[in-house]
Amino acid sequence: MGITVAQEPVILLPPEAADARFWAPVTAGLAMERSVTVAPVHLGDRIEEIASEIVTSSPPKFALCGAGLGGMVALEIVRRAPDRVTRLALMDTSPHADTPAEAGDREARIIKAKTGQLLVTHESDMRSSGIAPVPHQSDVLALGLDMLDHLGADAYMRQMRCLMRRRDQQSTLRRVRCPALVLCGAGNLRYTVKRHMSMAELIPYSQLQVIDGAGHLAPMEQPEAVIGALRQWQAMPLVLR
């Protein structure tokens, strides 16, 4: 007997510079309905290494949702173990490899992290990526800085190198054969709505949702809207392969 929708465990993957607290409202909102876990994305030097560890430690079948770097790890998991992933959600992320300019910018961030400018640099990055003017914006920024402080400079630099070395996954998108959600904040300046529209067009059986009043950190900025979108995603019928 195949796995039913109600039985699917959900694995959440946070973005770079974040930990499980990024997903805290989502985890609380979904945990009464199904098993929800958050897997780390800072314990390897390459995305392929991180993905391999998650696949090894995960249930035989699972739903997968990743944001930022977590979304890129999710695509690598789908690339190497497509039959394990029953549904896929990609949030505020990109399937593209770094351009030379983007890689150079990450190298500059690594240098700043080595010279004690990690938190100052990250606050500037969060603001320039598009933080929505929500009433709790200061809390969002404070939590973002605290998560990175907890993660530490070494882990952050590993993540930057993972991003610089990542492969282009557009061909992976075309091969997705499970219910898929592409979600982004309307005010995301790093990974724009237009880029997410392009991702959704490449994925069969996908839906695109844009979260109003959110930027690059939608689960922290508009948690209820993200929970609602993920519930709809979980209710999408499974695809016969």
Q: How far is CA 60 from CA 73, 114, 206, 208, in A?
A: 18, 40, 23, 27
Whether 58 shows a pLDDT value over 90: the answer reads yes
Residue with the bigger pLDDT between 64 and 34: it is 64
Q: How does residue 241 score in pLDDT terms, banded at 50, 70 and 90?
A: low
In a domain, 59, yes or no: yes
Whether 239 shows a pLDDT value over 80: the answer reads no
What span, in angstroms and rounded, lies between the C-alpha atoms of 137 and 190? Answer: 18
Whether 6 shows a pLDDT value over 50: the answer reads no
Segment 40-65 shows an average pLDDT of 96
pLDDT tens string 66-76: 999 999 999 99
Residue with the bigger pLDDT between 132 and 203: it is 203
- pLDDT for res 5: 44
DSSP conformational letter for 16: T
Angle, helix 153-165 to helix 47-57, in steps of 10 degrees: 100
In a domain, 61, yes or no: yes
> Which of 78, 121, 95 is closest to 191 using CA atoms?
95
Q: What is the DSSP string of 132-186?
A: ---TTHHHHHHHHHHHHHHH-HHHHHHHHHHHHHPPP-HHHHHH--S-EEEEEET
The residue to which tokens 């030379």 are assigned: 100
In a domain, 149, yes or no: no
Sheet with 85-91, side-by-side order of all strands: 36-38, 10-13, 62-67, 85-91, 180-185, 206-211
Whether 82 shows a pLDDT value over 50: the answer reads yes
Residues in Cβ contact with 59 at an 8 Å cutoff, skipping those fewer than 6 apart = 9
Residues in Cβ contact with 194 at an 8 Å cutoff, skipping those fewer than 6 apart = none
Whether 41 shows a pLDDT value over 60: the answer reads yes
Whether 7 shows a pLDDT value over 80: the answer reads no
Q: What is the CATH number of the domain that holds 33?
A: 3.40.50.1820
Evaluate whether 59 touches 9 at the Cβ level (below 8 Å): yes
In a domain, 21, yes or no: yes
The range of the structural domain enclosing residue 34 comes to: 5-99+158-235
For 90, the 3-state DSSP assignment is strand
Segment 162-182 shows an average pLDDT of 96
What span, in angstroms and rounded, lies between the C-alpha atoms of 2 and 27? Answer: 25
Average pLDDT, the chain: 93
Q: How does residue 3 score in pLDDT terms, banded at 50, 70 and 90?
A: very low
Evaluate whether 153 touches 188 at the Cβ level (below 8 Å): no
- pLDDT for res 2: 41
In a domain, 116, yes or no: no
Q: How does residue 240 score in pLDDT terms, banded at 50, 70 and 90?
A: low
In a domain, 143, yes or no: no
In a domain, 111, yes or no: no
Whether 84 shows a pLDDT value over 60: the answer reads yes
Number of domains in the chain: 1
- pLDDT for res 129: 86
- In this structure, what token pair is assigned to residue 28? 């609380």
pLDDT tens string 85-140: 999 999 999 999 999 999 999 999 999 999 999 999 898 888 888 888 899 999 99
Work out whether the CA dihedral 34, 84, 205, 69 comes out positive or negative. positive
In a domain, 105, yes or no: no
